[in-house]
Amino acid sequence: MKSMRIAFLGPAASFSHQAAVESFGSSAELLPCVSFADAFAAVQDDKVDYAIIPCENSTNGSVVQTLDLLADPKGIYSDVEVCGEHYLTVHHCLLTRKGLSPPGRPGYSSITKLYTHPQAWGQCEGFLEGAFKGVERQDVSSTSKGAEIVSRETVERSAAIASRFAAEHHGLDVSEENIEDKANNTTRFLVFRNVTSGRAGRLSFEDIQVSMAQDPTSVTRTAQKTLISFMIRQDCPGALAEALLIFKDRGINLTSINTRPSQIQAWKYVFLVEGQAIPTGQHKDSISQIMERLERVTESCRHLGSWTDRLVPF
């Protein structure tokens, strides 16, 4: 059997790369994508079996690039759905070129520019304000990309915020480690598949997780999560409340509500609602009933997937 093809937000040595290895193992064929959209497109075009993409961080909140792709008001990714999640504890390091800033004696005053992904700035704000107040910050597509840029420079005295794994991959010094504001800094990744793909259906993400467990018999049933998007009518008072009550009536505990611009009309938004339900044999029926009722009270709605909650065992 051919190895699984897994898309992740690249380049190599990113936190997404680490999450992909932890979720699918080292035998899978891991394919770095230069952007969130490229990873989604790889799933939509059935070029990969799965994609794993960051969606939120415990310190810095939602990853808006992922939310925008999930909102998908133009239906570009109509075959993409969420089928799983993975939690990764994130430890950030300050990385510099070999010899520029010796470990234990970081020459912060000589560093003129910092590179990292926008999410990392907010996760390390305390450290940055104390050591690099006023130093130029350059956003890059991933933490590993920042490390790559620094590794290739020969003149500029810059540094990157990335993982120790990225430092080892790109041959950089770790001048300071664990610079995140909170020790339990965690990123949640969503796993995506193509609903029309027979290959991903034959070996579900849940089966992969069980097969990778050290003791498969110890895997416990957990609650189920569901993600649904919808747009409401703007000329109908109470439309949002009416839509949200549907989830309550079907026993779904809402765990997050996000909004993203619809790109269709100014000030019109796509609501992304995630909820949790105790696993029962009626879960699929409940989702079908929720969607049926939402169709009556919203302009449009879409079920974006259901999966096992990996955070809180039931």
19-25 long-range contacts, CB within 8 A, separation 24+: 19/52, 19/54, 19/86, 19/88, 19/187, 19/189, 20/52, 22/86, 22/88, 23/52, 23/84, 23/86, 23/189, 23/191, 23/205, 23/208, 23/209, 24/50, 24/52, 24/208, 24/212, 25/212
Indicate whether 213 pLDDT > 90.
Answer: no
Residue 59 pLDDT grade (very low, low, confident, very high; cuts 50, 70, 90) = confident
pLDDT of residue 314: 41
Q: What is the pLDDT of residue 278?
A: 65
Residue 68 DSSP code: H
Provide the pLDDT for residue 208: 80
Q: Is the pTM of this model over 0.95?
A: no
- 209 or 131, higher pLDDT: 131
Domain 220-314, CATH number (from 3.30.930.10, 3.40.1390.20, 3.40.50.300, 3.30.70.260): 3.30.70.260
Task: State residue 215's pLDDT score.
Answer: 57
Q: What average pLDDT does range 244-263 have in this prediction?
A: 94
Does pLDDT of 1 surpass 60? Answer: no
Q: What pLDDT does residue 109 have?
A: 73
Domain boundaries, the chain: 1-89+185-217, 93-177, 220-314
Please, which residues have CB within 8 angstroms of residue 233's CB and are 6 or more apart in sequence? 239, 298, 299
Q: Could you read off the pLDDT of 269-293 as tens digits, one per residue?
A: 999 999 998 665 556 678 999 999 9
pLDDT tens profile 106-151 = 557 789 999 998 989 999 999 999 999 999 999 998 899 999 999 9
Mean residue pLDDT across the chain: 89
For residue 95, give the amino acid letter.
L
Domains 1-89+185-217 and 93-177 fall in the same CATH topology: yes
Residue 210 phi, psi (nearest 5)? -65, -45
How confident is the model over 232-250, as a mean pLDDT? 93
* Residue predicted with more confidence, 155 or 307: 307
Q: 93-177 — its CATH code?
A: 3.40.190.10
220-234 confidence digits (pLDDT tens):
657 899 999 999 988
- The verdict on domain 1-89+185-217 having CATH code 3.40.50.920 is no
DSSP output for 139-186 = E-SSHHHHHHHHHH-SSS-EEEEE-HHHHHHHT-EEEEE--SSSTT-E
Please check the confidence at residue 74 and state whether its pLDDT lies above 80.
yes
pLDDT tens per residue across span 75-115: 999 999 999 999 999 899 999 998 775 555 555 778 999 99
- Classified as helix, coil or strand, 5 is strand
The reported pLDDT for the residue numbered 216 is 54
Check whether 71 has a pLDDT greater than 90.
yes
pLDDT score of 63 more than 90 = yes
Q: What is the pLDDT of residue 202?
A: 61
Closest CA to 50 of 29, 72, 27: 29
Q: Give the bridge partners for 162, in sequence order.
A: 93
pLDDT mean over 259-267: 92
